[in-house]
A and B are shown apart, each in its own frame.
Chain A
Amino acid sequence: MAKMREVEPVVEIGEMTAAVSRERVQKLSRDRRRVIGFNSLSLLLFLLLWEGSSRLLHSVFFPGPLVVSRTFVVLLVEGDIQGYTLPYHAYVSLYRVLLGFGAACLTAIPLGIILGLWRPVYFGTRVVSEPLRFIPPLAWIPMAILFFSGLGRYVFLIWVGVFFPLFILTMNGVSTASPTFVDVARVLGASRSFIALRIIIPNALPQIVGAMRAVMSPAWMCIVAAEMVAAELVGLGQLINNYATLLRMDIVIVGMISIGILGLLLNEALMAVERALFRYRQEVKV
């Protein structure tokens, strides 16, 4: 993080700023090249270790990357026994995850904001919310099976897994607003609603988007678990489950890797949103 030097008189700072930012841009692209280099290297190393240990073990239950990539191509082009291709499995799971995640955002974020502004309500309802929060999403599966079917079941299970962490993180972001910002606005005669809408919420937004990113991994955990117990044929969880019973570990691994890659892509997308929205936050970096 390049620190700007103090230079007076003020007029000179304009040129300073330009020079510093040009320098910073150059440094950034250098850093980026280095990051890409290191990541390619660690990927290569990982694949080599995997291939090596698979050959050492010499077990059909632990195929190496070469076998797995062949299976990957087959699944991509021809599909599984039922004829569903890998992109279709991935699309179905992704669709379910995004619906559940969207439902959680639409409920947890507004509630987190309201209770963050109005802490007594939260403290007065903790006896209900805290025990609920500690029930693992998987424990909700029997309920979900009884009361929901089809898409609704998946959405419900993801919602259950994502709602509480997102709600708590949002509420904390809102209730830790800088007291000086609030004082600045109060002295200038701001109303409570102005302070809430124009000071506290914008101040908490980076934390809220960060929280959305953080709950992506519980969302995937829920969808895979939910798909494993469902009777349907599509979805990455279903793919893994079906072929696990057939001991086709190469397909299982393809399913696992697909989830990892989708998670990575979603995370990168949300990070791009963060960077675009919160340019002012110097901390938001790769």
Chain B
Amino acid sequence: MSLEKTILIINRYSSFFLDGIKSTLIIAAFSVLLGTVFGTLMATMRMSRIKPLKILATIYIEFVRGTPLMVQLTFMFYGLPMAGITFPDISFIPNFSRYTAGIVAMSMNSCAYVAEIIRSGIQAVDVGQMEAARSLGFRHSQAMSMVILPQAVRNILPALGNEFVTVIKESSIVSVIGIADLMFRTNDVIALTYRSLECLLVAAVIYFILTFTSGRLVALTERKLSYGRK
């Protein structure tokens, strides 16, 4: 391995890598966004007093967390079509069905983890906070929005940041269904140059920059929510 060769590869194939970064970020951003939205919903169901909702959510969360993402992803893209369920293709967005399958699988997976993050974040808030709010005459929903959730967010946000970092890393798996993400593009460059070591090193550094940056951004937001604490 040589530094020169590495620089040469970066220079010559930068468009490959940039393309890959773009796809990786799109997949990760959509997955975390949808995962958070549905994860919140799932957490609400999981904590609901309505038994069937609670059971349904619990089964979903346990099942998704107990099966490999690889299985979930290939099931979406290769399994479902055999049952006649396909993600549609749209002419003006290339590879729409692949992306959709990838994002759906990733966000359904993330949803389960986010739901648990949110639930434990809420349950970590001292019960005395809810009791004090109720004793003043706040309704449950008011106490939730004014007292519990603002405190839960402080527990939830760091874990959610970690989840985003995890999704960025795990999204490299979507290359197996032919999505041209960073991992997929790296393999392209390897095929063209036969330089696995240098190419994988470049990919690793890029992944690291992506995860490290998002980690910092989360830490910054956290500090804003610290309510006067150092």
Partners in one complex: no
Interface residues of B (CB under 8 A from A): none
Interface residues of A (CB under 8 A from B): none
